[in-house]
């Protein structure tokens, strides 16, 4: 995540902020520009100081304190690029459930920040796409089966209980997971979505199987074996996490999630001017745009230096490692596969958007990654 500043007073502001605490201006995010912006009321809309060429309004979920993104006034949807994918949300008249939903939405917006920066397509159900991206955020009811977080043919379900910190921490401990967050769930499940969307009928399938294994292995049996017997003893040499070892699909989704972890954190470090010392005393800094599909070896080398420093900082505060994972040579190759896959797909998406723009006489298509 890059750094943002208020256009009025130059105070540093965060991606989730809705008001500048220094000058009092309302704040919103313009996904088409990749900018947090101070806004001023104009009639029944808002003037965005980061873009004085048009008027905006807030996403409809802003009224529920569930979103700070903006849409162009007069646009076709009341919801922003992230919220228009929601299919089911919990009963928001329940204060506890609404607070959990707000946490989920905050994590989802960070996911969409990355998808936009990577120029990846996120079709909605209204776009006549064969596999639109849809979200259900579900609370458990006493008379119904437990809600499971997961992905199925474009539908990503997030269990509302994952927004309950004590419950999620208990599950993290019981399942032996060193890392379990709402944002991590989104990044993992979106990995399943893009695998389904890109890999099966593409030139990427054979190299996928060479690196990750044969996905035709029975998934249910593999999952059952993992929970009954645990991961193989040498899983750290081949996988980014123990769970990744249970099946090639999960290996890809876990690797995909870690690619997003690394890219966004490196952008944050770059934006903050973060410099750390390598073992040989030389400075390590991020001098490239992590979202521009840089050389994966350079990216991972920088990440290893920075994550080691971050882990030490956390330990100095009595906290667990912020990144308790090992990137083996094979895992680096898998991260490189994810990068090459997304880069190729983003290029196709950009060409398709350019074609639609040429063919459209009246409407300019919204292309992710334009900013």
Q: What is the pLDDT of residues 132-156, one digit of tens each?
A: 999 999 999 887 889 999 999 999 9
The predicted pLDDT at position 362 comes to 44
Q: What is the dihedral of CA 269, 271, 273, 278, to 10 degrees?
A: 30
Task: State pTM to two decimals.
Answer: 0.92
The predicted pLDDT at position 147 comes to 93
Among 160-174, 261-275, 290-304, 338-352, the range scoring the smallest mean pLDDT is 338-352
Q: What is the pLDDT of residues 322-344, one digit of tens each?
A: 999 999 999 999 999 999 999 98
Task: Please tell me the distance from the alpha carbon of residue 96 to that of residue 335, in angstroms, as a whole number.
Answer: 38
**Higher pLDDT residue, 181 or 178?**
181
Q: What is the pLDDT of residues 52-83, one digit of tens each?
A: 888 999 999 999 999 999 999 988 899 999 99
Q: What phi, psi does 145 have (nearest 5°)?
A: -70, 155
Tokens linked to 108 = 């989802």
The predicted pLDDT at position 369 comes to 46
The predicted pLDDT at position 173 comes to 86
Cα angle value 182/119/138 (rounded, 5°): 30
Pairing of strands 86-88, 134-138: parallel
Residue 201 burial class via C-beta count within 10 angstroms: exposed 0-12, middle 13-18, buried 19 and up: exposed
> Token pair 């990440």 is at which residue?
303
- How far are the Cα atoms of 95, 146, 161, 194 from residue 141, in angstroms, in the given order? 16, 8, 11, 30
Q: What is the pLDDT of residues 273-305, one digit of tens each?
A: 999 988 888 888 899 999 999 999 999 999 999
Task: Please tell me the distance from the alpha carbon of residue 249 to that of residue 256, in angstroms, as a whole number.
Answer: 11
The predicted pLDDT at position 216 comes to 96
Q: Contacts for 201-207 with beta carbons within 8 Å, 24 or more apart?
A: 204/337, 204/341, 204/344, 207/337
Tokens linked to 197 = 């969307």
Task: Please tell me the distance from the alpha carbon of residue 354 to that of residue 116, in angstroms, as a whole number.
Answer: 16
Cα angle value 65/191/335 (rounded, 5°): 120
**Taking the CA of residue 123 as centre, how many other CA atoms within 13 Å lie in the half-sphere pointing to its CB?**
16
The predicted pLDDT at position 360 comes to 59
**Taking the CA of residue 362 as centre, how many other CA atoms within 13 Å lie in the half-sphere pointing to its CB?**
1
Beta bridge partners of 42: 45
């Amino acid at each position: 995540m890059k750094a943002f500043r208020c256009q009025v007073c130059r105070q540093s502001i965060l991606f989730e902020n809705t008001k500048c605490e220094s000058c009092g201006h309302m704040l919103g995010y313009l996904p088409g520009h990749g900018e947090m912006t101070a806004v001023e009321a104009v009639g029944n809309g808002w003037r965005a100081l980061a873009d004085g060429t048009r008027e905006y309004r807030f996403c409809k979920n802003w009224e529920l304190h569930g979103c700070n993104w903006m849409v162009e006034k007069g646009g076709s949807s009341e919801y922003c690029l992230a919220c228009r994918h929601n299919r089911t949300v919990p009963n928001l008249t329940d204060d506890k459930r609404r607070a959990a939903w707000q946490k989920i939405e905050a994590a989802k917006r960070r996911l969409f920040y990355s998808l936009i920066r990577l120029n990846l397509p996120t079709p909605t159900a209204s776009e006549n796409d064969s596999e639109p991206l849809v979200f259900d955020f579900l609370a458990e009811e006493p008379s119904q089966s437990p809600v499971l977080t997961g992905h199925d043919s474009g539908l990503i379900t997030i269990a509302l209980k994952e927004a309950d910190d004590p419950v999620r921490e208990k599950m993290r401990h019981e399942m032996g997971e060193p890392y379990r967050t709402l944002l991590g769930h989104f990044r993992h499940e979106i990995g399943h979505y893009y695998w389904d969307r890109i890999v099966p009928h593409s030139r990427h399938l054979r190299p996928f199987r060479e690196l990750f294994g044969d996905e035709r292995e029975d998934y249910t049996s593999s999952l059952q074996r993992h929970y009954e017997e645990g991961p193989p003893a040498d899983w750290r040499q081949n996988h980014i996490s123990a769970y990744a070892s249970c099946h090639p699909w999960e290996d890809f989704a876990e690797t995909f999630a870690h690619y997003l972890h690394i890219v966004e954190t490196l952008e944050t470090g770059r934006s903050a001017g973060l410099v750390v010392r390598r073992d040989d005393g030389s400075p390590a800094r991020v001098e490239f745009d992590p979202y521009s599909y840089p050389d994966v070896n350079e990216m991972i080398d920088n990440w290893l230096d920075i994550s080691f420093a971050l882990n030490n900082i956390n330990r100095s505060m009595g906290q667990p490692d912020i990144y308790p994972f090992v990137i083996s040579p094979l895992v680096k190759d898998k991260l490189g596969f994810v990068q090459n896959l997304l880069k190729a797909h983003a290029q196709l998406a950009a060409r398709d958007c350019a074609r639609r723009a040429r063919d459209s006489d009246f409407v300019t298509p919204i292309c992710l990654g334009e900013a």
